[in-house]
Structure 1
Amino acid sequence: MMTSKTSKYFNSKKSSGTRGPPTKRPNSEVANTSAEEMTLILSELDEIKSDMVKHSDIETIVTSIVTEIMKVHMEEFDKRLNEIEEKNDKIKGHLQEQIDGLSMENEVLREKLAEKNKQIMEQKTTISDAMRIAQEAQVRSNYNEQYSRKSNIKIYGMKEEKKEDTPEEVIRMLSDVANVVLREDEIVAAHRIPGRAGQNRPILLKVKNTSVKSRIMKKRSEVKKSVHGLRLADDVTKLNSSLIDRLNAHDSIESAWYFNGNIYGKAVISDRRIQFDIYDDIPKKSE
């Protein structure tokens, strides 16, 4: 940058060039003038040099500015980071409280579940024992019921008459059809029982003992052949009758029947005669 002195100097030189040819000065005057001009120029250059900013100063200034900016940003970053960490700590603490609460609830539930499982196992044992006892009781009850029917005979297909004397009609039928002599004193009871709608009701005949029954049942095939639909059968309990049906329907059993208070089945594979009860495992027992 030029100073005012330098500007005046160059302007004076320029303006002097516009005039006519300069007058010739003495050598001593020219020498003095040149020395002054050089001194003036050097002085102006020193001023200009002193006014100029060094490159190293610029780097220092820029570095200082950047450092200050970075410091401000770092402070802001640290502040934001601390806020985030505080927020995360609060969230973490809240979640930890929830986790601890859930852990306690889970432990309580585990204890309750263990107690319930224990109760269930006890109940299962109790139920299993009760079922076993009930089955044993039903087996005994079925056996006793079947035993009480050991002297009974069911007569199917015998024509029903109004105001009939059932014992007398049974005695007459057995004598006429099977040539069996049955006395009145050998009959304990004889009466009609419910049957299928539209058909003659069956007769339940209870005789004095199994010997009398055996004498009559030996003629069952003759009775069956004599009159269509007429037949003699053992008085089997409902449970035993259902067992016979299940045995006849099973692939491992060839045939099933009642004899002398018990149920039997003939196995297909072994060809054995096997006695069954109402709760027996048919496949396992017929192996």
Structure 2
Amino acid sequence: MQEMQNKFEALSIENEELRKQIDQTRDVVIKNKKGLEDSTRMNQEAITSANYNEQYSRKNNIKVMNFPRRENQNLRSDFIETVKRDLNVHLEERDVVAIHRLPSDKPGPKPMIVRLFSSDVKRKVMVNRKNLNNSVRISDDVTWRNMQLISKLRDMNCFESVWFYNSGVYGRLEDGLQLKFNLFDNIRIRLQHRK
């Protein structure tokens, strides 16, 4: 009987020690989980902020696709002339701050980035871009992350339209509800709650 009592006490002490270890381990896991959640939140905030800053730095930029290429081309003059002829928008030389072609593996003319002098100049071009007479297309210069979000929304096949406007990505449902989306939104939950 005494031997069993001793074994029981030894097991009780061992059991109590194991409980303490489990409690300590649980505390460490909870602390690490909280740290991971904080790091994830801060990482998402940093990425969101960096994306916003990058997009803001492009606010006066436009992207031009299928702009014809020729030998000894003066891109600035050709672009200004095309905008004047096709869009009926008069641009001064100073309105085009910078212009260059982007690298591309696709056949045909490489796309161009055009930095315009102000958002007013850009607005004039963007409002009239539908009047382009040939295959040249003009769009906003959108960051890679915003393009990924736009693609993700379009792939869901539940939006009537998805677009980029004024540094934001928007989607309109077939019932007319229009929502602005951020990079780390849970889109399905936003759609369920309809906000």
Ranked by relative contact order (alpha carbons within 8 Å, sequence separation 6 or more), the top structure is 2
Q: In the alignment, is residue 178 of structure 1 matched against residue 84 of structure 2?
A: no
Q: Distance in 2 between matches of 1:189 and 1:106?
A: 74
CA contact (8 A) 1:188 1:207 kept: yes
Q: Distance in 2 between matches of 1:148 and 1:234?
A: 12
Q: Distance in 2 between matches of 1:187 and 1:111?
A: 70
Equivalent of 1:274 in 168, 174, 179: 179
Q: Distance in 1 between matches of 2:131 and 2:38?
A: 49
User: Among the aligned pairs, what percent are the same residue?
Assistant: 30
- Identify the residue that residue 99 of structure 2 maps to in structure 1: 190
Q: Distance in 2 between matches of 1:196 and 1:110?
A: 63
Structure 1: segments with no counterpart, 5+ residues? 1-88
SS at the partner of 2:131? helix
Q: In the alignment, is residue 249 of structure 1 matched against residue 155 of structure 2?
A: yes
- Identify the residue that residue 143 of structure 2 maps to in structure 1: 237
Amino acid paired to 1:272 = L
SS at the partner of 2:183? coil
- Identify the residue that residue 11 of structure 1 maps to in structure 2: none
Q: Distance in 2 between matches of 1:254 and 1:123?
A: 43
Q: In the alignment, is residue 166 of structure 1 matched against residue 61 of structure 2?
A: no
Q: Distance in 1 between matches of 2:73 and 2:143?
A: 27
Spell out structure 1 runs of 4+ moving beyond 3 A.
99-107
Q: Distance in 2 between matches of 1:162 and 1:236?
A: 29
Equivalent of 1:121 in 30, 55, 62: 30
Q: Distance in 2 between matches of 1:165 and 1:112?
A: 74
- Which has a greater percent of helix? 1
Residues 7-37 of structure 1: CA deviation (Å, up to 9, x unaligned): xxxxxxxxxxxxxxxxxxxxxxxxxxxxxxx
When normalised by structure 2's length, the TM-score is: 0.86
CA contact (8 A) 1:247 1:255 kept: no
SS at the partner of 1:280? coil
Amino acid paired to 2:186 = D
Q: Distance in 2 between matches of 1:186 and 1:130?
A: 43
Q: In the alignment, is residue 221 of structure 1 matched against residue 127 of structure 2?
A: no
- Identify the residue that residue 141 of structure 1 maps to in structure 2: 50
Alignment root-mean-square deviation, CA: 2.4
Equivalent of 2:61 in 152, 161, 178: 152
Cα drift, residue 170 of structure 1: 1.3
Amino acid paired to 1:147 = Y
Alpha-carbon spacing, 1:100–1:160, altered in 2? closer, same or farther (3 Å): farther
Cα drift, residue 201 of structure 1: 1.3
Residues 65-84 of structure 1: CA deviation (Å, up to 9, x unaligned): xxxxxxxxxxxxxxxxxxxx
Cα drift, residue 193 of structure 1: 1.3
Amino acid paired to 1:161 = R
Q: Distance in 2 between matches of 1:197 and 1:251?
A: 27
Cα drift, residue 251 of structure 1: 4.3
Q: Distance in 1 between matches of 2:108 and 2:33?
A: 48
Q: Distance in 1 between matches of 2:100 and 2:69?
A: 11
Amino acid paired to 1:227 = N
Q: Distance in 1 between matches of 2:30 and 2:71?
A: 62
Q: Distance in 2 between matches of 1:196 and 1:100?
A: 76
When normalised by structure 1's length, the TM-score is: 0.60
CA contact (8 A) 1:252 1:283 kept: no
Residues 110-152 of structure 1: CA deviation (Å, up to 9, x unaligned): 3222211111111111111121122122222211211111110
